Amino acid sequence: MPKVKANDINLYYETHGKGAPLLLIPGLGCDSQAWLPVINGLSNHFRIIAIDNRGAGRSDVPESPYTIRDMADDVLQLLDRLNVRSTHIIGHSLGGYIAQEFAISYPERVNRLILESTAPVSSARNNILFECFLDWRRKGMEMEPWMRAWSFWLFTPKRFKDKDYIDAFLRECTEYPYPQSIKGLEGQINAISSFDARDRLGKIRAKTLAVEGKEDILILPGEAETLAKGIPVSSMLYVGGAAHLLHMEREEELNRAILEFLQNGGRN
């Protein structure tokens, strides 16, 4: 399994397909495997680079604190190791924070940017929520009820009517061989709480698409709209019948929007 040394940590990544590079950055607690619902469709058109952020999956879990900027620098070093001078980027939730920071700090390395279910800053409510989830893990809460509690924030009410789907989701989470450690969760949550790009969004030069589920209750639609309005060349796409995990609930619609935006310059 491929890993590279980035900022003194081992960073896991996978590549799929051929073509122009497209980097996928996952959200809090997730890793490269979270993108499986969309990878097949996208890898027919792009060279997919899917990473495990530090603190999750098969990447290292640093002992010392780190920031979103550190995670963006991980991305930079990964791309350097792969000889990728510029790339399209999709970032989901926490991955959207990393993608913003990368586009602000290294604008010449970004072709087009897609920000899924994310915002320019983590709300005070979400910071408290994440600390509660972290506390439950520290107190020994089992993975199945812990992920069930998470699922209320991730899926639409309609999705919960599909018991087989939710049961399969929970089973995959509890049986996953690379679960996030408590230390990894803590590190990512602390990085999120200190991130704020609101005054720096104007530095993003890449043409950007913000995509938001209309029923997202974790990152509210208004937060995503604030993000889009702060980026000079951007557009906003709302997806009906979707909550926070757009790439799982509405993967076909999301793939169509991605291809339209990256290949045909749509929505701007």
* pTM score over 0.85: yes
3-state secondary structure of 23: strand
> In the 3-class helix/strand/coil scheme, how is 132-167 assigned residue by residue?
HHHHHHHCCCCHHHHHHHHHHHHCCHHHHCCHHHHH
**Inter-CA distances, 60 with 6, 57, 63, 101, 131, Å:** 10, 8, 9, 21, 22
What's the pLDDT score for residue 1? 62
Rounded to the nearest integer, the mean pLDDT of the chain is 96
User: Per-residue pLDDT averaged across 237-253, rounded?
Assistant: 96
Residue numbers of the domain that contains 156: 3-264
Q: CB neighbours (10 Å) of residue 232?
A: 12
What's the pLDDT score for residue 264? 80
Q: Which of 76, 81, 80 is nearest to 107 (CA)?
A: 76
The two tokens of residue 201 are 């969004």
Q: Encode pLDDT of 80-135 as tens digits.
A: 999 999 999 999 999 999 999 999 999 999 999 999 999 999 999 999 999 999 99
As a whole-number percent, the residues of the chain with pLDDT over 90 amount to 96
Total domain count, the chain: 1
**Could you tell me which residue, 123 or 8, shows the higher pLDDT?**
123
Are 129 and 229 in contact by the 8 Å Cβ rule? The answer is: no
Single-letter residue type at 23: L
Q: CB neighbours (10 Å) of residue 18?
A: 12
What's the pLDDT score for residue 137? 97
Domain at 153, CATH number: 3.40.50.1820
| pLDDT value at 165 more than 80 | yes
| pLDDT value at 75 more than 50 | yes
User: Per-residue pLDDT averaged across 167-181, rounded?
Assistant: 97
What's the pLDDT score for residue 265? 64
Cβ burial of 161 (10 Å; 0-12, 13-18, 19+) is exposed
Are 152 and 182 in contact by the 8 Å Cβ rule? The answer is: no
Are 174 and 143 in contact by the 8 Å Cβ rule? The answer is: yes
